[in-house]
Chain A
Amino acid sequence: MVTDFQRELARVEEDIEGVRGIALLEPVIHEKVTLLAHRLYQRASLTGRLADLRIAEAAISEGLRRAPNGDLWLLKANCDFAMHRIDQSRHELNEYPGLRESVKGKMLAADLDFEAGKYDQAWRGYQHMVLSARAWDTLARLAFFSAKMGEVRKADRLYYEAEEELTAKEMRSYAWVELQRGKLAFEHGRFGSANAHYARAREAYSGFWLVDQHIGDLRRAQGRLRDAAHLYATVVASTRRPEHQQTLGELSSLLGRSAQAEALKRETLVAYVESTARGEVLYYHHLADFYLESNLDSAKALEWAQKDIAIRRNYSTLTVLAWSYFCTGDARKALEISNEAVATRIVDADMLYQAAAINFANGLTTDGKKFLRSAMSVNPEMRKWYQDTLFEEESKTSNY
């Protein structure tokens, strides 16, 4: 049976084939060049494959060279954002008159602000957009921001409102919003609710690798490692992305499939390094993460974390940098960076847990306990893993 994903991908491929051979023939027709670039970008968004994104990038660049127009500049800016080229993306918003001030332009600008850690600016941008152009994607962005700020109920209500704006012609978008609602529940330890949202996403839009990825993460957290590995195997087969390979490798390791785990680890590292050799910056974060988790080479982790933070200084990159310093033994520097991450007011259980550990390492027990309790409050599932740590720390300084 043909899935919704396959059906949509087939339509996109058909459109691509329809213009591919003629789009760049002289005289270059604006509409065809733009259609080709747009469809290639659409394909890349669907498949999640970096190879497809690179093909789309090339078509967009060629289109801009031959028939520059506002649609292509917006595509270019979005492409660069997807590849973490933050400054470049921001610059491109100013390349076409009116683009920066348009709703799409403002939306991307707010996204860039968020990625750059400019949270107040991002908040104002998202709010203004919802007030001026209420649509599912502006509501979803506001929901995402609210979720990051720990306003969980508000975020879920905003996601619901976003869904109300979507019609039966937009099932993939609906599935995506359901995944966000599920992820929100997942990050706060409500696995049952997460499962329900993921199931609805799957029913709304069948055959989508992104749904499998989210369910795979849930199964992993639930301890259902075989199910998680099976799902991630389909994700890897679909996207061929190294970060998905990395996760599959971790699962293989947990399942005792050592040879497979090692092979995946090697392939993952090769893919990350090859990407950086191409001049891409997308995998700096992943490399830091890889060395911290898979290879335990904290020096290299620190090196990549520093490169990443030079591009975007947000709570996530600060958290990885802080942890890298911590793993290299520089607890004091780790504390400085961790404090900066916490000061963003983003509410993230992993960030809070790491802040706790760093504070404990610096002898700041009170703050450490505070952060640990916050982490467990955000995600009660963390209690299973970190309750002992808290008890241990409390016993050092109390009369237990």
Chain B
Amino acid sequence: MADHNDPNAVNSIFSDIEVSSADLYDLFGFPSDDTSGGEKVVIALTFAAYPQASTFDTDMLYRILLTAQPRVVWPAKGDHSLEVLLTYIEAIKEKYLGELRPSEIRVTVDRSQRASVQFIGFPTGNFTVTVEMNKVTTLPVAGGQPIKAFIGGRDDAFFNDLTGFFRSINYAPQFYHVPHWMTEARELKIPKTLIELDGNDLFNYDPADPNHGRTEKKPLPTGPLTWTGDKFKKDKDGNFRFCYTGEDARAGQNCNALIFEIPLAFITNVPAKHRIVNVWGESWVLKAAHKVETIPDHPLWIEHPFALLSSDRTDGELRKYKLVDTDGQPFADAALSEREDNRQLGANNFWLAPHFIKRLAHLGWGFGPSITALGLKTSFDHDNSPVSIHRTYATALEAFPRVKKTLFQQLNMPDDSWNPKGLDIPLRRPVEIFIPNVAAIDMDTSGSWPFGRRLEDQVATRFLSMFLDMEADLNGKKYHIELLNDQSLWNTVPIVPKSPPNPLKNDKDFLPQFPYLAEPW
């Protein structure tokens, strides 16, 4: 999933875990602005710059998986029951585990730092090319437009107040030295919130210690890691304290990346019909056994539904590797899957659907009341709670009524720029955005999230906007996914600092031409 804080095994937030090249960062995907010669889609998978930017780890195998499909319309308005939701999930599951065979771009790098790029399962067939690293390469395609490729180091295009995000979810490892073995001391049992809780001294900003959580961590206190307050924090002027500051925690940082610009006609034989390109990324690490010599493979059942169901699809090369991380929708993992190693299922995250519903409800009890406290309308039903609450659910059935609107409401876009052709394209709903966990790029749109993900999209803030009530309006205009990025909003609400939660743009300008991500620092 697209974030910088991925499964615990590679998560470098934990002070005893080294940075890993398996740590996927972001998956960008959007229709290329360059339509000369036909429609193209830009896909960029970024990951940790290890061993260093522009040098790839030779034990790694990266995959970008793609399918192209017709646009699917959600069932009739008003049919928003749990039963319908589960039917939808079942249908998606059947598709992904049934007849669907995604195409794949598979990349490995050898000791000489030459990249081998395999194109597998595309309509034109399979082929492999060797690509020079850190250079734009044009790959000819028989009978069609070429593919552009870039494999190498880039500026990390993720601009985000990570510290603010972790403060809002009371994530201990960002602020304290938490031993990796202490799994219960991650998201502490303190309500999630956008605005600080009165007396939450473990996480509230301390002007006497401004670097806490940014560049410094403290020893984990041994006392109760909880909060027993009952209200939001206010200063003497009646302002709430924002968990976020809008500062870019990734400024000046690099990543490694696989970037492709691919003709739509290369991905599908019916580009006029298949207008949605679903993409997800995976990182695989060579198994120890195959670094030594090939040990005869024999089928091995392991207690993991994904592995069991996909074992017949795993080819000989892939069996030598172990899946570590997946990347689809931004924040699907960090916000919704809690970054557990065994939840890294990528597109095949159907089993997590009940968990997503429960998790979204849990987040809603935190973010919902804080949105209301700011004078805004929330999509989450929190019974007018005056303060954020830490609540979890044992079953999706229990959680569903609270989070129903959040799941099913259409997310309004700020203007029509996302739909340049003015087509009758329905707005997307969170339920279809996060299940399956793929970037669903709509080729008839600009690719702005959630219709893809453009480099300039501030997706972290857009994710938070899911908890706004899209039926409400502000100054005569319906709420939309860019509302929380609007400085004028923050100028009017009782909060400090008065800034959008996350930076509005990247620290380095993107390039106007392929590979679009800026050069590394």
The 9 closest A-B pairs by CB, nearest first: A174-B288, A104-B181, A166-B288, A168-B59, A168-B286, A167-B285, A168-B291, A102-B181, A70-B179
A contact set with B: CB distance below 8 Å: 30-31, 34, 38, 67, 69-71, 74, 96-99, 102-105, 134, 160-161, 163-171, 173-174, 200, 203-204
- Name the interface residues of B135-192: CB closer than 8 Å to any CB of A: 177, 179, 181-185
The B interface, classified by DSSP as helix, strand, loop or mixed, is loop
Beta-carbon contact of B219 and A168 below 8 Å? no
CA distance A69 to B177 in the complex (A): 9
B428 within 8 A of A: no
Chain A minimum-CB-distance residue to B322: A167
Known: A30-B219, A70-B220. A167 touches B181 (CB 8 A): no
B303 within 8 A of A: yes
Query: Other CB < 8 Å A-B pairs besides A168-B59, A174-B289, 4 of them?
Result: A70-B220, A102-B182, A105-B181, A168-B286
Beta-carbon contact of A71 and B179 below 8 Å? yes
Beta-carbon contact of B288 and A173 below 8 Å? yes
CA distance A86 to B207 in the complex (A): 47
Beta-carbon contact of B185 and A98 below 8 Å? yes
Find chain A residues with CB under 8 A from B181 CB: 70, 74, 99, 102-105
Find chain B residues with CB under 8 A from A104 CB: 181
- Name the interface residues of B460-518: CB closer than 8 Å to any CB of A: none
Known: A71-B16, A98-B182, A104-B181. A170 touches B288 (CB 8 A): yes
B292 within 8 A of A: yes
Q: How far is the CB of B7 from chain A (nearest CB, A)?
A: 13
Interface-central residue, A30, A34, A167, A203, by most chain B CB under 10 Å: A167
Interface residues on B, range: 20 to 34
Beta-carbon contact of A174 and B292 below 8 Å? yes
The A interface, classified by DSSP as helix, strand, loop or mixed, is helix
Q: How far is the CB of A39 from chain B (nearest CB, A)?
A: 11
Find chain A residues with CB under 8 A from B322 CB: 164-165, 167
Find chain A residues with CB under 8 A from B290 CB: 168
Find chain A residues with CB under 8 A from B222 CB: 96-97
Find chain B residues with CB under 8 A from A173 CB: 288
B302 within 8 A of A: yes
Q: What are 12 A-B interface contacts by the 8 Å CB criterion?
A: A70-B181, A74-B181, A103-B183, A104-B181, A163-B288, A164-B287, A165-B322, A167-B59, A167-B285, A169-B20, A171-B292, A203-B293
Beta-carbon contact of A161 and B302 below 8 Å? yes
Q: How far is the CB of A55 from chain B (nearest CB, A)?
A: 20
Chain A minimum-CB-distance residue to B59: A168
Chain B minimum-CB-distance residue to A173: B288
Q: How far is the CB of B9 from chain A (nearest CB, A)?
A: 9
Find chain B residues with CB under 8 A from A161 CB: 300, 302
Beta-carbon contact of A169 and B59 below 8 Å? yes
- Our pick among B15, B286, B300 for the contact of A167 (Cβ within 8 Å) is B286
Q: How far is the CB of A261 from chain B (nearest CB, A)?
A: 37
B217 within 8 A of A: yes
Find chain A residues with CB under 8 A from B300 CB: 160-161, 164
Beta-carbon contact of B184 and A98 below 8 Å? yes
Beta-carbon contact of A69 and B182 below 8 Å? no
Find chain A residues with CB under 8 A from B20 CB: 169
Q: How far is the CB of B178 from chain A (nearest CB, A)?
A: 8
Find chain B residues with CB under 8 A from A38 CB: 16
Beta-carbon contact of B15 and A31 below 8 Å? yes
CA distance A99 to B183 in the complex (A): 10
Beta-carbon contact of A69 and B179 below 8 Å? yes
Find chain A residues with CB under 8 A from B285 CB: 167-169
Find chain B residues with CB under 8 A from A163 CB: 287-289
Find chain B residues with CB under 8 A from A164 CB: 287, 289, 300, 302, 322
Beta-carbon contact of A204 and B292 below 8 Å? yes
CA distance A38 to B292 in the complex (A): 28
Beta-carbon contact of B288 and A171 below 8 Å? yes
CA distance A361 to B289 in the complex (A): 49
Chain B minimum-CB-distance residue to A130: B303
Find chain A residues with CB under 8 A from B177 CB: 30-31, 34, 69, 71
CA distance A163 to B297 in the complex (A): 13
CA distance A4 to B183 in the complex (A): 32
Q: How far is the CB of A131 from chain B (nearest CB, A)?
A: 8
Known: A31-B177, A74-B181. A168 touches B288 (CB 8 A): yes
Find chain B residues with CB under 8 A from A71 CB: 16, 177, 179
CA distance A96 to B223 in the complex (A): 11
- Our pick among A69, A103, A105, A171 for the contact of B220 (Cβ within 8 Å) is A69
Chain B minimum-CB-distance residue to A97: B222
CA distance A337 to B300 in the complex (A): 42
Find chain B residues with CB under 8 A from A171 CB: 288, 291-292
CA distance A101 to B217 in the complex (A): 24
CA distance A99 to B289 in the complex (A): 32
